[in-house]
Structure 1
C-alpha cells in the first residue's frame, strides 16, 4: 500500500504544482519568447501602468497613469508569481511615468508633467506619510509628457531627470536655457528647484525616456525616441529614418566628465539608419548624424558630425524605447520597445537585451544594426498597436526576476530564464532555506492530500 501511495504522490505532484501556478490569458495571441527564457502574464486590469520599482521589502510599486502609484505584495517562486494586497500609495492622477525609491525604502520619488514629488514612505505598510514635497518644478509642456527619474547609486544625492520637448520638432530647444529636451542633475534633498536650475548632463535629446546607470562603472545611458515625419532636401524619409538612439553621458561622480553638457543633435541633427533612403548621403554611415535643414541640408552634415555628440548605438526607427535596466554586473542592458504608431509595417513591441563588455560599453559597434536581441515579443505585430501588448516600464525584484508593464493593455509580465531561474543571478536571492521550505511545504500538502484521499 505504501508503494502505491508514493507512486500516486509522484504522479499527482507535478499536476498539483502546475495547478498552483497563476494563469492569466491575454486577449491577443500569446507572446513569442526566445529560447532560454520564460515569460508569464501575472497581472491585468491596471490603468496604463508605466514606471515600476520594488521597495526594500520586496513590494511592487507601479505608476498607473491617471490614478497615481499602487503597491502590491509579491509572492511565489520562479515565474509563478502572485500579486496581492493592492494599495493606493499616492492617489494623484497627474502622475504619469517616473518613479524612484531609496535603498532603505523610506523615500519615494514620482513625477508629473510639471513636478517631481518626494514622499516619506513606509515599506512595511506600503503607505506614504503626509503630503508630498515638490522638489523640482517648471517642467510643463504640451507634448512629450514623461519625466523619467534616475536616483544614482554611484554618486550620493544626485537625481537625474529627463524632460522631452514641446513638439515633434521643437526648434526652441536650440537654446540650452530653454530647458526642453534635456537631462539635468539635481540634489534630491532640496525643495522647490526649478528645472532650469539643474546641472545639464545632456541636451539636444528629443525625448530620452529611458535612462539607466551601469552598476559596474556608474556610466549613465539614455534611450532616445527620435522625430517622426522628417524630410531631407524636400524628400520624405520618415519610414526608415531617423534611428532611435542609445546615448552615453559619462559618469556622474567624474568631476572631469568630458560628456557633461554635451549636445546630442536634436532638433538639427539625427542618427542615420537606412542610408539608401537619405538624399545625397555621400559617405554618411549608419549611426552618424545628418542634418535636415530646409535649404541644402547636406552642407550641414559636417556640423552634425563634428559639433554634435554621436549616438553610441542606433535602433530601428519608430521602435520607441521607453525604459532601460542593467543587470547587477552591468553585462546586459534590457530595453522596452513600446512600438510604432505611424509606420506602414509595425515594429518594436518587445523587450530586448544589449550586451555590454568589461569596459562598460556595448559589444556592438556604433554602426551595428544588430545590437538588440529580442527576449519577449508580440507574435503577430500586424495587429499592433491596437491588439498587442506595448512594453513600457521595467523593474528588478530581489530574486533577479525582471518585470515588465504594458500600458496599452493594463498588464504586468514577469521574465525569467528557462526553468524559473533568475534572469539576473547576481542579485541577492531569497535564501535557499526559504525556497526549500516552500518546496517542502508544497510537497507536504500534496502528501497529506493524497494520503487523505487514499484512506477514504
Structure 2
C-alpha cells in the first residue's frame, strides 16, 4: 500500500483542496453506533443508508453504482460528487426486483450485460447504463447450484480474460461427505467461458461444466484477480465448532485463509484445480490451542481427527495450504486489489462462534505488484493492516458495522457495504501521517444514516476544484 509523501506544491495543493472539500460537504451522514476508527493516511465517510442487506457492488460505465440488496434485488444509485469522500445521494431506484438474489454481482467487459446470482443459478440481463435499466426477462447462464447452509454465489468477471466468469459455491455442511467428490460441485470455485454460450444454448451445469480452479474450499466468498499478473486469489471462511482429536479448539482455530488459485491464461500452476483441504484439513492459527501439535505452525494444516489414513502429514502432502492465514472467525467476505496491485483490501464481517467478538473490520495486505504475491511469509501473523475498525467489538454484531462488499471507482476511492446496518462507506487514501479521519458533521448538514436515502453511485462530477488535482493523485 503506497503512502504519498508531499514533495511539491502540487501535493500540498491536493491536500488543501481535499480538506476544503470536506469542510464544505453539504450532507454528512451519522451512524447510529459509535463512529469507526480510521487508520493513519486514510479518510472515511458514511455516504448512504437505508438499504436492505447490501452485499456486492459494481460501477457501470456512467459511474452509477449497482448494489445487490439481499432478498430484494438490484438497485442503482447516483451521487453528486463534491470531491474527496464528500458524495451526496441524489437518486436511487430498483432495476431488478428479485427476492432470490442474495450476493453475487458483475458486469460484462463492455458493460452491456448484468450478472447476478441466487443460491441456485447465475442470471443475466441486457443492461443500458445510460437509462439505468435492464430489458427482458433474466436468462439463466449457470444452474444446478442449490444446497443448504452456505448459499452465497460470488461472481467475478475477469479483466484479463474477458467473457470468463468466476463463480464460487460453498459447502452443504449438513453432508460434508458430498464435498469429497469433485463432480458434486460443492465447496468449489469454477470459471465459465460465457462467450461459448449461444442465445439458444442450455445453461452451464455447475457440477459438470467450467474450469475447476480449486475445491475443498468451505466457503470462499471473496474472489479477486491481480491487476498486473492475473493471479486469482480467494478469501476463505473456515469452519466453526472444530475439534481436534476430540478436544474443542474452536475459539482460535482454524484460521481464515487467503488462497492462490492460479491464472486464467493457460499458465500451468501447481495449485490450480487442486484440493485445499476441506472438510478434513484446516489451517492453524493458534498453535498452543491444538493438542498433539508437534510440527504445526501458523498456516500449516491440521487434521480434525488423526487416524491411520489421515494425519497432519497427510494434510501437508495431499492438500494445498493457504498463502496467508488470518485470525479465526474473522469471516472474510470480499477482496479487492489496488489499481497498481501493491495492496489488497479485505472485508471481515465478524464472528458469531466465539466468546469474544472478533473481525468487524476492513483491512489491507501489502503485495509485491510485479510478482503478484503477498509480501508477508505464509506463516506470518501480522500480514493484515487495519484500515477501518469498530471502536468496541464487544457491542458487535448488534451495534456496529459489518463489512461485506467492496468496489473501486474511477477516482480510486474504495467503497464498502455493511449489510447489517444497510449502509455504504467511501474511503480514500490521503497520504497524510497521523490519525485517520472519519468525516462527521461540521460545516454541512447532518443526517441519520438509518433514515437516509439508499446509497447512490458516483457521477464522477468533482466540485470544489478537486478534479484537476485528483487526476494526478494516486492509483489505489
Instruction: Tell me if both proteins adopt one fold, taking TM over 0.5 as the criterion.
Output: yes
Aligned-partner SS, 1:136: strand
Which structure would you say has the larger RCO, counting Cα contacts within 8 Å and 6 or more residues apart? 2
User: Which of 361, 385, 392 does residue 350 from structure 1 map onto?
Assistant: 361
Aligned-partner SS, 1:314: strand
1:410 aligned partner: 422
Deviates more, 1:298-307 or 1:383-392: 298-307
CA drift at 1:55: 0.6
- Taking the aligned partners of 1:95 and 1:146, their CA distance within structure 2 comes to 9
- Taking the aligned partners of 1:16 and 1:430, their CA distance within structure 2 comes to 15
- Taking the aligned partners of 1:200 and 1:329, their CA distance within structure 2 comes to 28
CA drift at 1:255: 4.2
User: Which of 321, 330, 347 does residue 319 from structure 1 map onto?
Assistant: 330
Distance change >3 Å, CA 15–CA 324, structure 1 → 2:
closer
Aligned-partner SS, 2:178: helix
Are positions 1:136 and 2:147 aligned together? Answer: no
Does the Cα contact within 8 Å between 2:22 and 2:86 map onto a contact in 1?
Answer: no
Does the Cα contact within 8 Å between 1:169 and 1:267 map onto a contact in 2?
Answer: no
1:2-81 equivalences under 5 Å are 18-76=23-81, 77-81=83-87
Aligned-partner SS, 1:263: coil
- Taking the aligned partners of 2:278 and 2:309, their CA distance within structure 1 comes to 16
2:192 aligned partner: 186
Distance change >3 Å, CA 142–CA 281, structure 1 → 2:
same
- Taking the aligned partners of 2:151 and 2:342, their CA distance within structure 1 comes to 31
2:465 aligned partner: 436
1:181-260 equivalences under 5 Å are 181-189=187-195, 190=197, 191-196=202-207, 197-260=209-272
User: Which of 367, 370, 385 does residue 379 from structure 2 map onto?
Assistant: 367
Does the Cα contact within 8 Å between 2:330 and 2:349 map onto a contact in 1?
Answer: yes
Aligned-partner SS, 1:170: helix
CA drift at 1:312: 0.2
Deviates more, 1:185-194 or 1:350-359: 185-194
Does the Cα contact within 8 Å between 1:73 and 1:83 map onto a contact in 2?
Answer: yes
User: Which of 98, 108, 115 does residue 109 from structure 1 map onto?
Assistant: 115
1:372-411 equivalences under 5 Å are 372-411=384-423
Does the Cα contact within 8 Å between 2:106 and 2:156 map onto a contact in 1?
Answer: yes
- Taking the aligned partners of 1:323 and 1:223, their CA distance within structure 2 comes to 7
- Taking the aligned partners of 1:86 and 1:62, their CA distance within structure 2 comes to 10
CA drift at 1:249: 0.7
| Between structures 1 and 2, the one with greater helix share | 1
Are positions 1:100 and 2:106 aligned together? Answer: yes
CA drift at 1:25: 1.1
1:446 aligned partner: none
- Taking the aligned partners of 1:17 and 1:231, their CA distance within structure 2 comes to 50
Aligned-partner SS, 1:393: strand
Does the Cα contact within 8 Å between 2:21 and 2:84 map onto a contact in 1?
Answer: no
CA drift at 1:169: 7.1
- Taking the aligned partners of 2:25 and 2:325, their CA distance within structure 1 comes to 43
> Root-mean-square deviation (CA), in Å?
2.3
CA drift at 1:147: 0.2
Distance change >3 Å, CA 274–CA 235, structure 1 → 2:
same
Aligned-partner SS, 1:208: coil
- Taking the aligned partners of 1:297 and 1:248, their CA distance within structure 2 comes to 30
Q: What is the total number of aligned residue pairs between the two structures? A: 418
- Taking the aligned partners of 2:161 and 2:222, their CA distance within structure 1 comes to 19
Deviates more, 1:167-176 or 1:321-330: 167-176
Q: Deviations over 1:134-189 (max 9, x none)?
A: 00000011111100001111113211100000117722201111110000111223
- Taking the aligned partners of 1:68 and 1:120, their CA distance within structure 2 comes to 16
Are positions 1:336 and 2:347 aligned together? Answer: yes
Aligned-partner SS, 2:313: helix
Distance change >3 Å, CA 16–CA 178, structure 1 → 2:
closer
Does the Cα contact within 8 Å between 1:243 and 1:314 map onto a contact in 2?
Answer: yes
Does the Cα contact within 8 Å between 2:49 and 2:422 map onto a contact in 1?
Answer: yes
Are positions 1:121 and 2:127 aligned together? Answer: yes
What TM-score, normalized by structure 2, do the two folds share? 0.84
CA drift at 1:105: 1.8
CA drift at 1:298: 9.8
1:261 aligned partner: 273
Aligned-partner SS, 2:320: coil
Distance change >3 Å, CA 280–CA 255, structure 1 → 2:
same
CA drift at 1:418: 2.9
Q: Deviations over 1:21-79 (max 9, x none)?
A: 32111111010100111110001110000001101110000000011000011221110
Distance change >3 Å, CA 15–CA 215, structure 1 → 2:
closer
1:150 aligned partner: 156
